[in-house]
Amino acid sequence: MVNQKIISNILKPLVISGVYKDETVALKDIVADYMQRRIEIYVSVIKKMESKYGKDFVAVSKKIKKKATIEVEDDWMEWKAAIVMSQSWHQALKKLLNNAA
């Protein structure tokens, strides 16, 4: 497990160079940036699927119920996973921004 000293050693150059005012701000910003990038990946998948099928997830789900091909079912599973993960990352980012000092 990574201990506080290792994290501090990683963040210290960012503080010393003046990029961040302290290690807490640096860590929060780095983690928030990572979370936002993850969200962007999943949103990109969602948009790709909406463009491919010309409808949103709910509409496509209703249309393909009990008559999906393997390809469509694979897309549906990828789309569903992207929605769930995007929501999870959004929720985590919101908590980080609300709770971190």
The predicted model gives 38-45 an average pLDDT of 98
Q: What is the pLDDT of residue 56?
A: 97
pLDDT at residue 3, as a whole number: 86
- Distance, CA of 98 to chain centre: 17
Average pLDDT over residues 25-37: 96
22 three-class SS: coil
Domain count, the chain: 1
pLDDT at 101 > cutoff 70: no
Per residue in 43-99, pLDDT tens? 999 999 999 999 999 999 999 998 999 999 999 999 999 999 999 999 999 999 998
pLDDT at site 2: 65
Q: Domain of residue 50: give its range.
A: 4-99
Q: Could you tell me the maximum CA-CA distance found in the chain, to the nearest angstrom?
A: 60
